[in-house]
């Protein structure tokens, strides 16, 4: 998925209020930013994914919290 496609998919997921898609897409954006060495951008996207995962009660929240805590961007939570 190209960057423009990812952006469009994120906009659609927001419009549809599709939490699972938002978690998946923001995680993908975070993974890409991390692979590119941009930790600030990665954590920005992963934080969004984490919040949507928490709001929806999705199991992905645990791994997202772990990743953010590893970057000192969140406190480790017992989820």
CA distances 70 to 37, 55, 65, Å, are: 15, 22, 8
Q: Which pLDDT score, from 0 to 100, does residue 57 have? A: 97
Rounded to 10 deg, the angle between the 60-70 and 39-56 helix axes is 150
Domain ranges of the chain: 3-70
For the segment 14-55, what is each residue's pLDDT rounded down to a tens digit?
Answer: 999 999 999 999 999 999 999 999 999 999 999 999 999 999
Q: Which pLDDT score, from 0 to 100, does residue 10 have? A: 98
Give the span between the Cα atoms of 74 and 65, in whole angstroms: 7
The pTM for the full model equals 0.95
Give 35's DSSP letter: H
């Amino acid at each position: 998925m190209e960057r423009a496609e990812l952006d469009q998919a994120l906009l659609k997921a927001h419009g549809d209020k599709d939490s699972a898609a938002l978690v998946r897409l923001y995680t993908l954006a975070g993974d890409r930013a991390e692979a590119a060495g941009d930790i600030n951008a990665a954590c920005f996207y992963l934080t969004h994914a984490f919040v949507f995962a928490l709001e929806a009660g999705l199991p992905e929240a645990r791994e997202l919290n772990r990743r953010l805590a590893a970057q000192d961007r969140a406190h480790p939570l017992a989820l």
